[in-house]
Structures are given as structure tokens and as C-alpha cells.
Chain A
Amino acid sequence: MSMVSSTPTQRERSHRIRVWRDRIFYALFFLAVVVGIAGLAALLIDVLIDGLPFLDWKFMSSYASRRPLESGILAPMAGTIWVVGLTALFTIPIGVGTAIYLEEFAVKNRLARLIELNISNLAGVPSVIYGLLGLAVFVQFLFNGSRNLTAGALTMTLLILPIVIIASQEAIKAVPSSYRDAAYAMGATRWQVVKTVVMPQAIPGMMSGIILALSRAIGESAPILIISSLVWVTFIPTSPDSKFTVLPLQIFTWVSQPQQDFRSIAAAGIIVLLAILLTMNAAAIWIRSKYQVRAEQ
């Protein structure tokens, strides 16, 4: 019983040490947060300093060139818009459909659990593996070796599908079950309940999840790098079977050049990419908050 035998001064000292230890670790834990935020700040400032001087209208409206100062991001911007558009077209029906099936239609049995487990496993598969899948299935099998936009968008669809499904499931789960019960009590079929009661309530939540998933697709480069494998593109894709490049892929190409000027325009490209992602994330947050306010009223 050391506590009993210790003198008041000893206890006082041990207390002071413990208090100081608490304060020091307070500072250290806070420092951990600061390091994360400082890393983010350093990254953003680094990119802005390198890239801002090169960011002008000519940069936005020119094709890539061997001369860095004449290069621009017209082709990858067009490619990114195409890929995102097609990906949205494929992902939304499949992702939302799967979520509706799992939440509203499937009997909660072993099969449904297996599908959910499968989806969460897919979310952990490295993106480069999706690139290999797309290369073998879409490029070589489906399109006979053509490295086109549709192959890229289909690959991206499979990549972001787990995110869309999980976000849509959350949105459906958030609809109070009393709404469903009321509709069932009036004799509605399952599909009617989904169509007229669940979906209108769940759509804002789904939309914010879908926008976030699409922003992930915009920033992703590894699978597109494997599918497209084009580095200098000087044309705007005109149809879903065009060849293409995307913004992160163009940035990667420029970063990989040893000349400083290429790295600088890579930074300018990064600013554009981050601005797009920021806008999309803000839109997703805005939709979510607007919807939450309505739900509370």
C-alpha cells in the first residue's frame, strides 16, 4: 500500500508529474493533427506556387505539346468529361438498382449477406486491378483491342460501383420504415412503395453519394492509364469509341518528364483537377445539408 505510506509531498510530486505528462501529451496529440493539416497546406501551397503562373486561358484551350509552355489541357478535359458522363450513365442504374434490391427486395438470407460481403471486398480491391480487369474484358474481349472511351468508362463504373451501392443503401436505410408501412397498409406493392415512397425520400442522399463516387472516378488515374495507355493526345474525343486521355493521366505524363517546365504545367493541371473535385464535393455537401434541413422541418 504505497499510497498510504507516501507522504503528502510525495503525493503532491507524483500528481504534478502526472499533470505535466497529461499536458505534454495534449501537445503531442494536437501536434499530430497539426502535422496532417500542415501536410495538406504544404501540398496545396506547393501546387499553387508552381502552377498558378501557368494557369491561363491558353492552357485551358490548347492541346498537349512537346513544348511545355505551349501545352494545354483541352484534350484531357474533354476526355474527363466524356469518361465521367459515360460512367454516370452506367453506374447510376446499376448502383441504385443493386442498393434497392439489397435493401427492399432481397430476403435477408445468406445470399444477400454474401452479396454485401462481396461488395465491401470489392471496395478494397486496388484500382490497378480494375485496370487489368478492364484491359482483359473490355479492351481485348469486348472491343477487340480498341482502347476506347467506353472501355475506360466501364472500368471506372466497376471501380466506383461499390461506393455508389453503399451510399445508396445508406440513403435508403435513412427513410423511416413508418413511411413504408403506411404505403403497404394501403395495399401498395413492393415496387410501388419503392417507386413512390422510398425513392423520392432517398434520392438526395443517393445523389450526394453518386457525386462523391464520380469525383473519385475523376481523380483516379491507374486504371485509365492501363486502359488508355495514351500519353500525348492531340484531339478531342467525338464518340464513345474514340481514343482518349483524362486529366490525371495528362498530369502524370507531365510529372514524369524531367524538365522543370513540364512539372510546372503539371501543377497547373493539378489546380484545375482540384478545383473540379472541390466543386463536386461542395455540391455533394450542399445537397446533403439542404436535404437534412428539409427532413427536420
Chain B
Amino acid sequence: MTSTPDANFTSPQDSRESDLVKQEILQRVARRRRRQYREQTIVTWLLRATAAISVATTLGIVFILVQQSAGFFTEVNVFEFVFGTEWTPLFKPQKFGALPLVGGTLLVAVIAGLVSLTFGLGAAIFLSEYAPEGARKVLKPILEILAGIPTVVYGYFALTFITPILQSIFGADRVIIFNALSAGIVMGLMIMPMVSTLSEDAMVAVPRSLRDAAYALGATRFEVATKVVIPAALSGIVASFILALSRAIGETMIVKIAAGATPNLTLNPLESIQAMTAYIVQVSLGETPQGSIEYRTIFAVGLLLFVMTLAMNILGRWVIARFRQVYE
């Protein structure tokens, strides 16, 4: 490069030489550009392939669940599966009515929902409307630790801590060791930060001016919270609740450890039940031969579970999109 002459002071001879050098440089640049674009094309395809994996996962889930359940539904009527009230696939006479499993799942989820809505929403209101900034900064992360604790730990907590408390309250003869209430309470504790964080986000998004207007009219904090902030943030609160419920329906280890293994269509939370997820895990742990109808039941139950949680997740997002108040 040292031979490249300065552009401003060139004799005719030099200029011809410099043209050659320029050409050489331009060619090199062009070659390098081509190499860069080739590299970019390859990288783009690689990245596209990685993005395709997440799409393939969804398709894989749907395909596997449908394909494996198809074998099940050739032998069992879909109607009998969804509305049948007896679930005894593992012993004769086999009955394939999934309602006891669905009922057990929903019983635990409703208890969890009540617990998480009561305390999660209360906590959200406190953090967003009452707590000074310093307290909020400390309390919120502590609450969110709850969401990071492994579910097997919650199962342990339900079985060894909550259940004995329930037994001492309601009497050991009335509370079965494995019961829906204990699992539901602990699951409510688990999803509480989900409700409180998402609700609080929705409440914080309500503009300051709306609150100020209410305060200027002499409203108390409670009145501002319940009459201004909550109505304005309702879509976010409802959505947080739906998403948390969907999480509760799909939860496995708490119900497996603490709620029992008795498919039982009941509304009594002190009884033992079996949730859909707990059934799937129970069969997976056993020695069920692959391809048998007992084995296929877990995919049929899995399909039902997938449809339920997907519907709730879509509903949750729809509520946010449909009813969100947009403020300037």
C-alpha cells in the first residue's frame, strides 16, 4: 500500500499506475464483499433453521398427541371419554370416562385460583397503590421468589406442612392425607406472584392523572384503587388470573405428591382425587407396555390437557388485546 500515490499530486505515469492499484483494490473489495454476502446467506439459512425448530416443536406436540390418541379413540368413543364419569383404565372392567380426572384437576385449580386471586390481587393493590417505592422494591422480588421454587418442593410442603395443619383443623378422620385442598392451597401460593406481578403491571400502567383527578375530589386510596385503578386495569387483572389458572391446570408435581391417585368426581376438597397430569405421570412410572390402550390413554389425557391450557392461554391474550384501555 505504500506505493499508492497521494491523489492530489500525480504525474501522468503515476496516475496510470494508481489506476491499476485502484482496480486491484476494487477487485479485492468486491471479492471480500461477495465472501461476506455468501457468509451472510449461509448464516441466514442457519438462523432460519433454528427458528423453524420452535415451529416444529408445536407441530410435533400436536402430531404426537393426535397420532397416539387416534389409536385410543378407535377403541373408545370420544363422547364416552369426555363425558364418562368412571375412570378405571388400569384394571378390569376398564372404563375410560375422563371426567373424574378433569374434575379433580379443576377442583384443585379452582382452590388455587381462589387463593391466588385473593392474595395475589391484594398484594398487587398494596404494591401499586399503597406501598412506598422503597417497600415495593423489597417486597416484590421476595414475592417473586415463590414463582422460582421447584414444584416438587411445593409438593413436599403441601404433604408435610399444610396437610397436617388441615388435619388438625378439620379432624384427621375427615381429611385424607392426600387431598385436593392441601394441593390447591399450595398451588395458589405458587401462582400468587404470577397474579400479583401481572395485575400490578396492569395497574401501574393506569396513568397518574386518573388517580390525581380522583384524589383531587377527595377520594381515599381505597376508593381510588377500587373505583378508578381496578376498573381501568381490569383486562390485565382478568388475563393474569386466566393465565395463572392455566398454569395451575398444567401443574404436575404438587398434585402428584399431595392430591392423591384416586380418580374421584367430587366437590369435597378434603377428599383424595387424581389430576390429569398426575395420571399421566403415574402411568409413565408404571410398567405399561408401549402401544397398549393403557399406554395410549396418557396421550389422550395429554391431548385434552393441551387443548384446555391452550384455550385458556388464547383467551387470556384475547382479553388483554380486546379490552385493553389505551391511554396517551
Contact = CB atoms under 8 A, between A and B. Distances in A.
A96 B46 CA distance: 12
Contacts of B156: 47, 251, 255, 263, 266-267, 270
Nearest to B39: A191
Interface stretch (B50-58, B79-87, B168-176): B50-58
Contacts of B122: 28-29, 31-33
Interface in B135-153: 139, 142-143, 145-146, 148-153
A273 B156 CA distance: 13
A128 B281 contact: yes
How big is the A interface, by class? 35 or more
Given A26-B222, A32-B119, A136-B68, A128 B146 contact: no
Interface stretch (A65-73, A98-106, A171-179, A232-240): A98-106
Nearest to A45: B161
Contact of B252 (A222, A231, A255): A222
B36 interface: yes
B284 A263 contact: no
A252 interface: yes
B281 A132 contact: no
Interface string B252-285: 1100110000000000000000000100110011
A22 B223 contact: yes
A18 interface: yes
Contact of A36 (B65, B119, B160, B221): B119
Nearest to B157: A43
B284 A252 contact: no
Listed residue (A137, A189, A221) with the most chain B CB atoms within 10 angstroms of its CB: A221
B148 A222 contact: no
Contacts of B157: 42-43, 46-47
Given A21-B222, A127-B250, A255-B159, A192 B277 contact: no
Interface string B119-136: 111110111011000000
B54 A118 contact: yes
Given A121-B313, A221-B152, A97 B223 contact: no
Given A98-B47, A219-B152, 9 more contacts: A22-B220, A32-B123, A97-B51, A101-B50, A125-B310, A190-B40, A221-B152, A222-B253, A277-B148
Interface of A: 18-19, 21-22, 25-26, 28-33, 35-37, 39-40, 42-43, 46-47, 50, 93-95, 97-98, 100-102, 105-106, 115, 118-122, 124-133, 135-137, 140, 145, 158, 161-162, 165, 189-192, 215-216, 218-222, 225-226, 229, 231, 248, 251-252, 255-256, 263, 266-267, 270, 273-274, 277, 281
16 contacts: A28-B122, A29-B126, A32-B121, A43-B157, A50-B160, A97-B49, A98-B53, A101-B51, A115-B51, A118-B55, A129-B61, A136-B299, A140-B290, A190-B40, A219-B148, A220-B150
